[in-house]
């Protein structure tokens, strides 16, 4: 039994280490990319023949609190009215349908070419709505925004010109966060998303590795969507699915780090849970759907296959982290009861290098967003350990999502409720879309909080503090997720 635990523990650490090396390579790519100038092409709006028609798609479902803000913001985009079409793809089933229709009519009277498109059912969910709108879209290019996104007025002028390169199928912009500092929950979400949208997306795109359209705040060439097989609703991350199919068809993606598109982060843990579940399960589904096809494609370079392996299995790291965490307690006792294994534990200490690599990579992202300096570095250290503690606290919930994805269990597309949050800390409590049920995973999280309290006790009992910090982070992470989940229902 001891040998089996040691083997599983070692293999999990090894995969996490390989993942950290992939991240380190992306950091090196990112640093190299900063030395290159990105000469953005332009076009003359006074020349009608040079200005393409653009369709903006706004897929929405029961977005009562943010629809007015979304529509008013989209109306401010600078682009010739005769070259712009707006589709509100509204699958809503509540009273927001009527208020949205009234607001759309007001905007139409200002000269906007805006349409309210409602379906009889939600077949295919978001993917189905986008596909339905594409059938009648006038635009050569399709810009997509979720309901909580607020692009700047010059957003189309900053993105559409890149399509002068006929090989480009997608232009994706970086997400910003309008409520980054609302709470600890929003701060850690921003911390994680900044890493993806800064280092990972740039690092992959710079070396022509596969990246993903992030579901919103980007533009597709309509021909690219159709050539890649159109939107498909058989996974929970239709954006990742279409992205990989398009790149397998040799379309190029362009990522714009310097064009920020602000959005609202979930402020209640049940909303963050539903979003995390969809993203993590969808990634696992897409690994099963697409990676083997990519692996057999001889035109895709080995290094791209390597990075895509960890890209599509990114969410599966939660499963490995949970496995390492749970096994780390029996590992402590095996170590203390079997002096013959002392050499082994000296060897696996090498895997602590993974944490150092992650620390270094995340610092570069943090520094890019917040700038450097001693006090910012101190703030970064606090955020790094807080983020990883809470991320580990989410590992049960996210691991369940990953397992469902890999084993093909289908589930409904659950939207993330939007809040249009104001400065009042409890202003979200009246939101009718907030899930008030306590997940069964919450009970497991409470039990794991107790389990890692025992691990902390064991460190003193055995006088072995090698994993003490790790176990404290796990205790605090599961405690945070558990108490937030319970108190947000009150």
The contacts of residue 355 (CB under 8 Å, 6+ apart) are none
* Among candidate residues 220, 204, 416, 402, the one with its CA nearest the CA of residue 304: 204
91 is catalytic: yes
Contact 462, 339 (CB under 8 A): no
Contact 89, 132 (CB under 8 A): yes
Q: How far is CA 423 from CA 267, 317, 329, 414, 432, in A?
A: 12, 35, 43, 27, 19
Q: How far is CA 360 from CA 201, 207, 355, 468, in A?
A: 17, 21, 9, 22
Contact 319, 403 (CB under 8 A): yes
At 11, which helix (H) or strand (E)? helix 2-33
Q: How far is CA 32 from CA 94, 207, 314, 428, in A?
A: 50, 10, 23, 43
CA distance 439 to 59: 28
CA distance 135 to 132: 6
The contacts of residue 366 (CB under 8 Å, 6+ apart) are 191, 194, 376, 380, 383, 384
CA distance 446 to 482: 6
Which residue shows structure tokens 């095996």?
Answer: 334
E strands, 27-164, are 54-60, 84-90, 114-118, 141-144
Among the listed residues 90, 146, 148, 239, the single catalytic one is 239
297 is catalytic: no
Look at the alpha carbons of 470, 476, 479, 485 in this order and tell me if their dihedral is positive or negative.
negative
Among the listed residues 90, 91, 146, 241, the single catalytic one is 91
Look at the alpha carbons of 213, 216, 219, 222 in this order and tell me if their dihedral is positive or negative.
positive
Strands 54-60, 141-144: pairing kind: parallel
CA distance 150 to 155: 10
Q: Which residues are catalytic?
A: 91, 239
């Amino acid at each position: 039994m001891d040998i089996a635990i040691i083997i599983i523990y070692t293999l999990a650490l090894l995969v996490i280490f390989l993942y950290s090396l992939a991240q380190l390579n992306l950091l090196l790519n990112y640093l190299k990319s900063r030395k290159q100038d990105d000469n953005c092409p332009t076009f003359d709006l006074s020349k009608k023949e040079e200005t393409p028609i653009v369709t903006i798609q706004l897929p929405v479902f029961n977005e009562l609190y943010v629809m007015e803000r979304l529509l008013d913001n989209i109306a401010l985009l600078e682009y010739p009215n005769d070259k712009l079409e707006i589709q509100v793809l509204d699958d809503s089933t509540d009273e927001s349908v009527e208020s949205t229709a009234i607001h759309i009519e007001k905007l139409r009277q200002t000269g906007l070419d805006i349409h309210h498109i409602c379906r009889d059912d939600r077949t295919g969910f978001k993917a189905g709505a986008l596909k339905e709108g594409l059938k009648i879209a006038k635009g050569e290019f399709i810009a997509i925004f979720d309901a909580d996104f607020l692009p700047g007025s010059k957003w189309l002028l900053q993105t559409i010109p890149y399509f002068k390169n006929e090989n480009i199928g997608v232009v994706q912009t970086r997400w910003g966060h309008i409520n980054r500092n609302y709470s600890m929950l929003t701060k850690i979400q921003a911390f994680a998303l900044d890493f993806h949208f800064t280092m990972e997306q740039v690092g992959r795109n710079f070396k022509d590795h596969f990246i993903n359209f992030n579901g919103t705040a980007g533009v597709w060439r309509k021909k690219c969507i159709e050539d890649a097989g159109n939107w498909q609703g058989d996974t929970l991350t239709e954006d990742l699915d279409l992205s990989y199919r398009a790149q397998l068809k040799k379309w190029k993606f362009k990522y714009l780090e310097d064009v920020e598109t602000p959005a609202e982060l979930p402020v209640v843990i049940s909303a963050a849970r539903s979003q995390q579940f969809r993203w993590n399960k969808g990634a696992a589904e897409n690994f099963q759907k697409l990676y083997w096809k990519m692996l057999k494609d001889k035109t895709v370079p080995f290094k791209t296959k390597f990075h895509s392996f960890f890209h599509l299995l990114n969410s599966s790291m939660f499963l490995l982290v949970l496995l390492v965490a749970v096994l780390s307690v029996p590992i402590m006792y095996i170590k203390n009861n079997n002096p013959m294994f002392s050499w082994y534990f000296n060897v696996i200490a090498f895997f602590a290098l993974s944490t150092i690599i992650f620390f270094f990579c995340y610092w570069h992202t943090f520094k890019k967003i917040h700038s450097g300096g001693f006090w910012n570095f101190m703030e970064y250290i606090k955020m790094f350990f807080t983020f990883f503690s809470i991320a580990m606290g989410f590992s049960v919930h996210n691991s369940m999502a990953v397992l469902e994805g890999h084993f093909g269990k289908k589930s409904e597309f659950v939207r993330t409720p939007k809040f249009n949050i104001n400065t009042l800390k409890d202003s979200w409590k009246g939101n009718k879309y907030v899930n008030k049920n306590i997940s069964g995973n919450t009970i497991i999280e409470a039990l794991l909080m107790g389990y890692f309290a025992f691990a902390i006790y064991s460190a003193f009992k055995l006088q072995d503090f090698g994993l003490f910090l790790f176990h404290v982070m796990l205790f605090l992470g599961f405690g945070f997720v558990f108490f937030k989940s319970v108190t947000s229902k009150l």
